[in-house]
Chains A and B, each alone.
Chain A
Amino acid sequence: MSGAFTLEAAGMSKRFGALAALDNVSMRVEAGAVHALLGENGAGKSTLVKCIMGFYRADQGSLLLDGAEAEVRNPRDASLLGLGMVYQHFTLVPSMTVLENLVMARADTPAVIDWRHERRRLSAFIATMPFGAPLDTPVHGLAAGEKQKAEILKQLYLGARFLILDEPTSVLTPQEADEMLGMVRDMARAMRLSALLITHKFREVLAYADAVTVLRKGRLAGSGKVADLTVDQMAAMMIGEDRPAAAVERSAAAPGPVRLAVENLTADDADGAEAVRGVSLAVRGGEIVGIAGVSGNGQSELVETLAGQRDATGGRILVEGELYGATRAETQRHHLALLPEEPLRNGCVGRMSVAENMAIRNFDRPPISAGFWLSTGAMREAARGLIQRYRVKTPGPDAPIASLSGGNVQRAVLARELGGDAHILIAANPVFGLDFAAVADIHSQIVAARNRGAAVLLVSEDLDELLDLSDRLLVISEGRIVLETPAAAADRTAIGRAMAGH
């Protein structure tokens, strides 16, 4: 019931439909080691960890604990085997005290709780730990670092001897992060636990991890002792080697005048923390400006602010030289088009039909409207044209858009946004989760819009996509633009380092 053990994942594969989220990945974490799991978003880190924790069942592969094969059918099994996970976001109940949270989390909590007994038991447990937590403070009263410590304490109290930390420092200050990771490392050194640290910050890997496994696109991209590797080597593993650009015809005309300008823009995230911290950029007609970055560095908030879904807290947006507030009149006058990420959630009404969703931009203009009245006939007619032109696979214009596959929802939104001649296009992760053919198709549409003279802002977590499509590349980190480079002369290593905040 105590002491660190080794964990080995052998040949793990997991498919979701056509997508191989995890393809024959093996990883070995030594007892008492802090092992980093590195990779871009969508590289398969979460899938691997979820297979280990029993949230998913791997299609192939096995899990060995201390050399013996272990079957984990569900998270409960994992917990009984001593596997514990600390999530990026807090899972403690904010209104309850630390004591209440920890007692509640136990699987064997009695129906009637003897709080004095529980307090004694927990105090005795904490006395054996290198750190404590204020037992009687409600969790919402704790600082982020303390909350994260309480989360770790909870896992250890539940008997975890192998800790999986999923980007545990993303909500912490650097000082809190250092303290927390230092603690984990010390406990690993003392052979009390082994830890798997999911991260994309090289700094944390270098300072706290003994070994590292790098995933890229669901495959093992490399692994080794941290001492034997350089940052550049790890960045190369994470980002991948140069590969030939996809054959997308691009016209060589010089960029036109600035169509979209963002000046010192700031915006908060859903929790009220500042997510966009003074972004300035300009996109000219006939060029694609890419924004690279690890997700959660302010990209979503930036795009939402440009889309009118989020209010800016400062700065301004200029479209074709005029102040832009994302009203319907402005969007239509400037022909601004948007391909939001998760289009079903951000740009569609799921229960409305394909035709109705395709009309969201232009239902109030002829021919679909005649003054106050709506012509459903004209709406359907327009939709039929778009469905054909953009090859949207749907039973018909009247099918609810939520019944379409992800790629076809994306195509339908693309048809709506680009169907009317766009002057400015803002696209966020436009091919996320799509198959190869759909990716090529949507990429060529984006380049075609550029060739027609549109100013394109492309936000993506896929660096390959950005390097293929962009004329200019910006890197965003912690809400700021930290690097600008022409895409043709881009240095992947430098980009990788900038993305990782190094």
Chain B
Amino acid sequence: MDAEPPRRAALARFIDPLAAPLAAGAATVALFGLFVALAGRNPLEVYRLMAEGAFGSWFSWQNTLLRASPLLLTALCTALPAQMGLVIIGGEGAFVIGGLAAIAAGLRMADIGTPALVVQCAMALAGMAAGGALIALAGAMRHWRGVNETISSLLLSSIAIAVMNQVVEGPMRDPASLNKPSTRPLPDADLIGNIPGMDVHWGLALGLIACLLAWLLMRRTTFGFAARIVGGNSRAARMAGLPVGLMMVIVTGLGGAAAGLGGMIEVAAVQGDANANIAAGYGLSGILVAFLARQHPLAIIPVAVLLGGIGASGGLLQRRLDLPDAAVLVLQGILFVALLAGEALPPLSEWKAKVSR
């Protein structure tokens, strides 16, 4: 068996991971076009409006980036454990429990008159610890008890959301919140502000930094290298004497911490308090982002922006074409299903070999 010439092999390595998402994207465009056509709208007009609503102006760009920033962090909750071969889908729970822990810590610190930066740091740490602990539990159960981490992370996520609802309606409820049970709001001084010159909060920067750090950790450190060995072949990892269980707990914990930080930002920059609104599906969209990005920490950035843009364009579709707001959710759903179907296809470079056989 002759090896391919190096240049072609390098090209295949570059193209292969892109092929499935691109094919899924094309299929989605066609299917969603059919969907809006059946709803009596012109698909081309829909797509033109979506582009305008997502990227047509500085205003729409800011809207897009605002929506992308939590996705950067929740996507890491799936993408980091994926480096070790784990499929974690509990980002929503880590996001929510992170937000709850953050507000609890933030209110406690604010009550004793701590400076804003310290309050925010304490909130971030609390959010990351809570989100990290939740997902690390799924990693630990997987290694030591053989529990499927996908199912357990999903169920843990449901528990986390239920806990948040319980706490928000019970012990931490602000008596002043009448229609919608919420915690007390953070003092305005302790809220996370916007990046200068933009209408986008600092969470975007934190998300970008987190993706960059995740990439550095996985690609440029000995720890990340060891994690990829475990993810690639656990038998080889055991032969190399790597502490597989401990590493699983750490990496799942880091993924959960990223989502927990997302929840903290949602509370400290967007909502100002914690209520059922923080379970708005960012964690679920994060799974989609991670899969579309093929679990690559840097590829998460453009994908999150794209998904943010799709979300941002919903309003315009509603105003101009009278399509329901949920139309963009249909688009997301189609995209996810198309992507999962595409995952089952062999890499592009193997197609030719299959045909010629």
Query: What is the interface of chain A, defined by CB distance below 8 A to chain B?
Result: 307-309, 326-332, 338, 340, 345-352, 356, 359-361, 363-364, 369, 372-374, 376, 393-396, 398-399, 403-405
Residue B240 at the chain A interface, CB threshold 8 Å = yes
B residues 238-297 near A (Cβ < 8 Å) are 238-243
Chain B residue nearest in CB terms to A336 = B241
Q: By the criterion CB–CB under 8 Å, are B229 and A360 in contact?
A: yes
Q: By the criterion CB–CB under 8 Å, are A374 and B239 in contact?
A: no
Within 8 Å by CB of B229, from A308, A327, A352, lies: A352
Contact A330 to B241, CB < 8 A, known contacts A363-B226, A394-B3, A395-B4: yes
Q: By the criterion CB–CB under 8 Å, are B221 and A374 in contact?
A: yes
Chain B residue nearest in CB terms to A368 = B222
Complex CA gap A148/B219 in Å reads: 51
Q: List chain A residues, Cβ under 8 A from B6.
A: 395-396, 399
Complex CA gap A196/B193 in Å reads: 81
Complex CA gap A395/B220 in Å reads: 23
Scoring A309, A345, A394 by chain B CB atoms within 10 A of each residue's CB, the highest score goes to: A309
Residue B228 at the chain A interface, CB threshold 8 Å = yes
Q: By the criterion CB–CB under 8 Å, are B239 and A364 in contact?
A: no
Q: List chain A residues, Cβ under 8 A from B240.
A: 328, 331, 360-361
* A contact face: mostly helix, strand, loop, or mixed: loop
Q: By the criterion CB–CB under 8 Å, are A340 and B239 in contact?
A: yes
Q: By the criterion CB–CB under 8 Å, are A374 and B233 in contact?
A: no
Scoring B224, B236, B243 by chain A CB atoms within 10 A of each residue's CB, the highest score goes to: B236
Q: List chain B residues, Cβ under 8 A from A328.
A: 240-243
CB A216 to nearest CB in B, in angstroms, measures 28
Contact A307 to B238, CB < 8 A, known contacts A349-B232, A399-B6: yes
Identify 12 residue pairs between A and B in the complex whose beta-carbon atoms are under 8 Å apart, listed by A's number. Answer: A326-B238, A327-B243, A332-B241, A347-B235, A350-B232, A352-B228, A352-B229, A360-B240, A364-B222, A369-B222, A399-B6, A404-B3
Q: By the criterion CB–CB under 8 Å, are B241 and A329 in contact?
A: yes
Chain A residue nearest in CB terms to B220 = A374
Complex CA gap A361/B241 in Å reads: 9
Q: By the criterion CB–CB under 8 Å, are B9 and A399 in contact?
A: yes
Complex CA gap A19/B301 in Å reads: 50
Residue B58 at the chain A interface, CB threshold 8 Å = no
Within 8 Å by CB of A347, from B3, B220, B225, B236, lies: B236
Residue B59 at the chain A interface, CB threshold 8 Å = no
Complex CA gap A338/B226 in Å reads: 18
Q: List chain B residues, Cβ under 8 A from A394.
A: 3
CB A438 to nearest CB in B, in angstroms, measures 14
Complex CA gap A485/B260 in Å reads: 64
Q: By the criterion CB–CB under 8 Å, are B235 and A346 in contact?
A: yes
Q: By the criterion CB–CB under 8 Å, are A349 and B222 in contact?
A: no
Within 8 Å by CB of B239, from A308, A350, A352, A399, lies: A308
Q: List chain B residues, Cβ under 8 A from A396.
A: 6
Complex CA gap A348/B233 in Å reads: 7
CB B33 to nearest CB in A, in angstroms, measures 36
Residue B1 at the chain A interface, CB threshold 8 Å = yes
Q: List chain A residues, Cβ under 8 A from B10.
A: 398
Q: List chain B residues, Cβ under 8 A from A350.
A: 232-233
Complex CA gap A47/B282 in Å reads: 55
Residue B113 at the chain A interface, CB threshold 8 Å = no
Residue B223 at the chain A interface, CB threshold 8 Å = yes
Q: List chain B residues, Cβ under 8 A from A398.
A: 10
Complex CA gap A328/B232 in Å reads: 18
CB A261 to nearest CB in B, in angstroms, measures 19
Residue B196 at the chain A interface, CB threshold 8 Å = no
Chain B residue nearest in CB terms to A393 = B3
Within 8 Å by CB of A373, from B1, B220, B233, B236, lies: B220
Complex CA gap A330/B241 in Å reads: 8
CB A404 to nearest CB in B, in angstroms, measures 7
Contact A349 to B223, CB < 8 A, known contacts A360-B229, A399-B9: no
Chain B residue nearest in CB terms to A408 = B3
B residues 291-335 near A (Cβ < 8 Å) are none
Contact A374 to B4, CB < 8 A, known contacts A309-B238, A348-B233, A360-B236: no
CB A301 to nearest CB in B, in angstroms, measures 13
Interface digits, B150-184 against A, CB 8 Å rule (1 contact, 0 not)? 00000000000000000000000000000000000
Known: A338-B239, A352-B229, A373-B220. 9 other contacts (CB 8 A): A346-B239, A349-B229, A350-B233, A352-B232, A360-B229, A374-B222, A393-B3, A395-B5, A403-B9
Q: By the criterion CB–CB under 8 Å, are A372 and B4 in contact?
A: no
Q: List chain A residues, Cβ under 8 A from B236.
A: 346-349, 360
Chain B residue nearest in CB terms to A352 = B232
Complex CA gap A15/B1 in Å reads: 15
Complex CA gap A373/B10 in Å reads: 25
Within 8 Å by CB of A351, from B222, B232, B239, lies: B232
Interface digits, B61-90 against A, CB 8 Å rule (1 contact, 0 not)? 000000000000000000000000000000
Chain B residue nearest in CB terms to A369 = B222
Scoring B10, B220, B233, B242 by chain A CB atoms within 10 A of each residue's CB, the highest score goes to: B233
Complex CA gap A398/B11 in Å reads: 13
Within 8 Å by CB of A364, from B9, B226, B238, lies: B226
Q: List chain B residues, Cβ under 8 A from A399.
A: 3, 6, 9
Q: By the criterion CB–CB under 8 Å, are A363 and B235 in contact?
A: no
CB B353 to nearest CB in A, in angstroms, measures 12
Q: List chain B residues, Cβ under 8 A from A326.
A: 238, 241
Q: List chain A residues, Cβ under 8 A from B220.
A: 373-374, 376
Complex CA gap A331/B221 in Å reads: 21
Complex CA gap A393/B6 in Å reads: 13
CB B281 to nearest CB in A, in angstroms, measures 32
Complex CA gap A348/B239 in Å reads: 10
CB B16 to nearest CB in A, in angstroms, measures 11
Q: List chain B residues, Cβ under 8 A from A307.
A: 238-239
Complex CA gap A215/B235 in Å reads: 34
Complex CA gap A351/B9 in Å reads: 13
Complex CA gap A347/B225 in Å reads: 15
Q: List chain B residues, Cβ under 8 A from A348.
A: 233, 236
Within 8 Å by CB of A363, from B9, B222, B232, lies: B222
Chain B residue nearest in CB terms to A363 = B225
Q: List chain A residues, Cβ under 8 A from B242.
A: 328
Q: By the criterion CB–CB under 8 Å, are A356 and B3 in contact?
A: no
Complex CA gap A500/B9 in Å reads: 48
Scoring A308, A376, A396 by chain B CB atoms within 10 A of each residue's CB, the highest score goes to: A308
Q: List chain B residues, Cβ under 8 A from A364.
A: 222, 226
Q: List chain A residues, Cβ under 8 A from B226.
A: 363-364
Q: List chain B residues, Cβ under 8 A from A360.
A: 229, 236, 240
Interface digits, B1-41 against A, CB 8 Å rule (1 contact, 0 not)? 10111100110000000000000000000000000000000
Q: By the criterion CB–CB under 8 Å, are B3 and A349 in contact?
A: no
B residues 200-241 near A (Cβ < 8 Å) are 219-226, 228-229, 232-233, 235-236, 238-241
Chain B residue nearest in CB terms to A396 = B6
CB B340 to nearest CB in A, in angstroms, measures 20
B residues 136-152 near A (Cβ < 8 Å) are none
Complex CA gap A350/B240 in Å reads: 15
The 4 closest A-B pairs by CB, nearest first: A349-B232, A328-B241, A395-B3, A395-B6
